[in-house]
Amino acid sequence: MSSVAGCLLAAEVDSKIVMDASDNQPGPQLAEWVIEPRREDLMSRLRDVWRYRRLMRFFATKSLEKMIRRTVLGPIWLLIRPLFPIFVNTFIFGGVLGVGSDGVPYFLFVTTGSAIWELFSAATMWGTRSLDLNRGLMNRIYIPRLILPLATMTPAYLNFVIYMVVLAVGFVYPLLLERHGARIDAMIAVLAQEFRALDVEVADTLRALKQASQDERPRLLDTTMLYAPRSGGVKRYLLSKKAWIEANRPGVSHSLIVPGARHRARADGIVQLRATRLPFGDGYRWPSSVKRWSAWVAAMKPSIIEAGDPYTPGQGALEAGQRVGCPVVGFCHSDPAGLAALHFGELAKKPVEKRWARLFSQFDRVVSPSRFIARRLEEAGVDNIVIRPLGVEVDTFRPDRRDRSWLLKELGLGPHARLLCFAGRPAKEKNVDVLIEAVQKLGAPYHLVLVGAGSGMPAEDLVISLPY
């Protein structure tokens, strides 16, 4: 009887005892156990889904990963997938066949229909198939059945959001044009002027590069995207390297090609190429074209190229090396896959790591500043690695230049203060918040000095932020 009661409790079922009502029957009366399923309403089902939300997140992630692995473009396909049918249908039905839309812009007409149909189609096909594909799992363990179709439809939800964004832009833009048409015309005029100025910049930069390329000395050329007014270690490394070569290797010419607000060839050998500024990127800029970047690098006629990133400049350096016929060295300053996981989640780590390894495998030699980065490169499948730790400018940073009294006076601290120092950008991957929490737990007389944080850091007790 105890085993029966245990089964009933585990199954969460209602039970009742039905006794034999006949008093005329001789012998002992027997009890009947009637097992009835628990009736669930919508709210109880939703509570089950919330209780198993982690499992649902797991299934949703697997669904997205499966779609990404099936395509060459990777995560980019998640954006292109819903937009491609809009352009195709607009071109064929609205342009070639001339199908009417009652005055509604045809791409909005197509988007509205596609959004509803795609969601309905995914719910019908993948929602039902999810139960069939996971029947083995459902036979072994208990999970809320509603989780499977909801998680499997995650790509459809993403497509629907993109459709809604397209519709919002399509409806809002005409209103802006109607109300602010004059301002938009003025912006277009400004952009046209910018393009005319761009032609002048390009011509001046090309003339400067042509003159520089006439230098018969062997040319070492560095190129990277990781160069900005407030960038940190990569910029410091390149500028120190340039100064050392100029002072100690007069027979070698050194040039540096980096992104900037406009095209400009400086007299010190630094060439800036116009690139789009990244939003929330702390001054960093992203070049758009690998081919254009490659052409600029090749125009300098380098003897050897060092690429300081795996992005557009790194790809452009490889193409320029093939054009010119010179070796190309890749300097891996960081772990892009780890940064992608930190900022965008674990879903972004694998495709970034794959692309990172594929690019660095093409360099003639890969330089790593630490054993950690070298190990990450080896794990990703990259070989031909050499470790070159970055040094310290001993002329500037040496013990005999220490002046504790002057420093404490400049910081406004007493003679008994104890200083902890961090030098660098307050980027997320630096985990500066851990240092701040540590010094706050230590309390007085400890103080944390953030050299390079500037005025952008929030005010914290016992924390002093200094500019570069």
Of 128, 161, 179, the domain-final residue: 179
Span 263-282, mean pLDDT? Answer: 82
413 and 377, same structural domain? no
For residue 450, count other CB atoms closer than 10 A to its CB: 23
Q: Which residues pair with 304 in a beta bridge?
A: 220
* Position with higher pLDDT, 379 vs 37: 379
**Do 106 and 131 fall into the same domain?**
yes
Four-residue CA torsion sign, 375, 377, 381, 383: negative
Residue 305 lies in a domain: yes
Please tell me whether residues 381 and 278 are part of one structural domain: yes
Position 386 scores a pLDDT of: 92
The residues pairing with 465 across neighbouring beta strands, listed in sequence order, are: 450
Instruction: Flag whether 120 is in a domain.
Output: yes
Q: Virtual CA dihedral for 408, 411, 412, 415, nearest 10 degrees?
A: -20
Nearest to 158 by CA among 196, 216, 119, 108: 119
Answer yes or no: do 132 and 33 share one domain. Answer: no
Whether 132 and 243 share a structural domain: no
List 253's β-bridge partners, or say none. 219
Tell me whether residue 466 is exposed, middle or buried, using C-beta atoms within 10 angstroms of its C-beta: 0 to 12, 13 to 18, 19 or more: middle
Quote the CA–CA distance of 269 and 241 in Å, as a whole number: 13
Decide the pairing of beta strands 285-286 and 276-277. Answer: antiparallel
Asked if the model's pLDDT at residue 289 lies above 50, the reply is yes
Single out the residue of 292, 160, 269 nearest to residue 208, CA to CA.
269
Which tens digit of pLDDT belongs to each residue from 274-286? 888 887 667 888 8
Write the CB contacts of 182 (distance below 8 Å, at least 6 apart in sequence). none
- For 125-173, the pLDDT digits (tens) are 777 777 777 777 777 777 777 777 777 777 777 777 877 777 777 667 6
> What is the mean predicted confidence (pLDDT) over 262-287?
83
d(CA 229, CA 242): 17
User: Which residue, chain included where needed, has tokens 């105890």?
Assistant: 2
User: At 370, is the secondary structure helix, strand, or coil?
Assistant: coil
Among residues 332, 356, 387, which one ends one of the domains?
Answer: 387
What is the pLDDT, as a whole number, of residue 11? 40
Which tens digits make up the pLDDT trace of 400-456?
Answer: 888 889 989 888 888 899 999 888 777 777 788 888 889 989 988 999 998 877 666
- What confidence category does residue 50 fall into, taking pLDDT thresholds of 50, 70 and 90? confident
**Do 373 and 439 share a domain, yes or no?**
no
- Are 52 and 168 found together in one domain? yes
Tell whether omega for the bond before 445 is within 30 degrees of 0, i.e. cis: yes
> How many folded domains does the chain comprise?
4
Least confident segment among 221-225, 226-230, 447-451: 226-230
Strand locations in 13-103 (E):
14-19, 31-36
Q: Is residue 190 part of a domain?
A: no
Query: On the CB side of 127, how many CA atoms lie within 13 Å of its CA?
Result: 11
Name the average pLDDT for the chain. Answer: 77
Query: 54 with 139, same domain?
Result: yes
319: confidence class by pLDDT, cuts 50, 70, 90: very high
Query: Is residue 274 within a helix (H) or strand (E), and if so which, with residue range?
Result: strand 270-274
In a shared domain, residues 241 and 337: yes
Angle between helix 290-299 and 181-213 (nearest 10): 30
Whether 77 and 165 have beta carbons less than 8 Å apart is answered as no
Would residue 249 count as lying in a domain?
A: yes
| 301 vs 304: CA distance, rounded Å | 9
pTM of the entire predicted model: 0.55
Type of residue found at 449:
V
The answer to whether the CB of 113 falls within 8 A of the CB of 77 is no
- For residue 272, what are the β-bridge partners? 258, 264
The pLDDT tens digits for 3-23 are 444 443 444 444 444 444 444
Domain assignment of residue 395, yes or no: no
- DSSP for residue 222: E
Domain of residue 436, residue span = 403-466
Q: Which of 387, 422, 457 is the last residue of a domain?
A: 387
Give domain status of residue 210, yes or no.
no
CA dihedral 422, 428, 434, 439 (to 10 degrees): 40
Whether 342 and 457 share a structural domain: no
Residues 55 and 75 in one domain: yes
Token pair 């230049």 is found at 401
Instruction: For residue 170, tell me if it sits in a domain.
Output: yes
Residue 181: Cβ within 10 Å count: 10
Q: Is residue 15 part of a domain?
A: yes
Please check whether residue 331 is in contact with residue 367, taking contact to mean a CB–CB distance below 8 angstroms: yes
Element (H, E) at 305: strand 304-307
Beta-carbon count within 10 A of 224 CB: 24
Q: Domain check: are 230 and 363 in the same one?
A: yes
